[in-house]
Amino acid sequence: MNKQLIIVDGHAVLHRAFHALPALTAPGGQPTGAVYGFFKMIFKLWADFSPDYFLVALDAPGPNFRHEKFVGYQAKRPKTDPKLASQIGLVREILNRAKIANKQKTGFEADDVIGTVAKRVSKKLPVLIVTGDRDLMQLVDERINLFLPRNGLSGGQIVDSVFVKKDLGIKPGQVVDYKGLVGDNSDNYPGALGIGPKTGVKLLNCFGTLGAIYDNLAKIDSCAIREKLVSYQDDVFLSADLAKINCQVPIKVDLTNYRLDRVNAQELKSAFSSLGFRSLMADLERKNEQMNLF
């Protein structure tokens, strides 16, 4: 086993599994493809990284504090496919039955739960966050890395500070300011209209922070860029505020509750049996024999 905590961005992995795998149904007709892919991914994480501690972070139902700050937040996102929505509760039920630690907080997103737990735990242990959401690159530091799944659910990329700089052209600590400048179509916050990724990166590499950019507007050569920054200043700082992960969510963080050896393998097997997941039952048996997880 490895003295580290893995935190899974539950809905991100579920969404990926839903689109990566063919549709499956349980004997009673319940769609189960995303559930199958989700636990297939969990088993792979256990096998590849052998963590001592494991947590699944989930989005709580209903709006969160970002919707209160900006009524248009995520307004353009399509509604969750009903076949996926029906599987979210099923995954949570199985996690609870099997005593696989999972956490959500009303009024906050899973990202905020992830950030809060990661920052607290990283003072004691290294943390690996499993997600497809690049916004979480803002959390990367010497003790926190990301794992971005690739090739469906079979592979992935470890993301450290060096990768962030190479991928985005900025440091992890600049991701929030970058989002403030360029906005985010998926979450529907505006940024500065007309300032794209290349300009955003150039400004941040030159000045470092949003505050420094606005303190030094006169030093920006392009009149057009200066005008856009001034015209959309409120949108820029609102967008940065929306993009920033809240790492102070009022939740209890107790590593003993995240121990992987607490998992109830019998309950997992029972759940998989009822859903017709024969291959996952076999995987569970093999992993238990090889790794003595439970």
pLDDT greater than 60 at residue 293 = no
Report if pTM > 0.85: yes
What pLDDT, on a 0 to 100 scale, did the predictor assign at position 178? 97
Mean pLDDT on 132-156: 89
Among the listed residues 171, 180, 186, the one whose alpha carbon sits nearest the alpha carbon of residue 138 = 171
Average pLDDT value over all residues in the chain: 90
At 92, list the tokens: 């949570």
Assigned token pair, 206: 């030159």
pLDDT at residue 112 in the model = 96
Query: Which CATH class, in words, describes the domain spanning 168-243?
Result: mainly alpha
| Stretch 267-290: mean pLDDT | 84
Percent of the chain predicted with pLDDT > 70:
95
The answer, yes or no, to whether residue 153 has pLDDT greater than 80, is no
Of 136 and 78, the one with more pLDDT: 136
Strand partners, 149: 156
Number of other residues whose CB lies within 10 A of the CB of residue 179: 23
CATH topology of domain 2-167+245-291: Rossmann fold (3.40.50)
71 against 15, higher pLDDT: 15
Structure tokens at 272: 């998989």
- Residue-wise pLDDT for 8-38, tens only, equals 999 999 988 888 877 788 888 888 999 999 9
Q: Give the model's pLDDT for residue 126.
A: 97
Start-end ranges of CATH 1.10.150.20 in the chain?
168-243
Contact 275, 208 (CB under 8 A): no
pLDDT value, residue 291: 54
Q: How many CB atoms lie within 10 A of CB 250?
A: 8
* Domain limits, CATH 3.40.50.1010, in the chain: 2-167+245-291
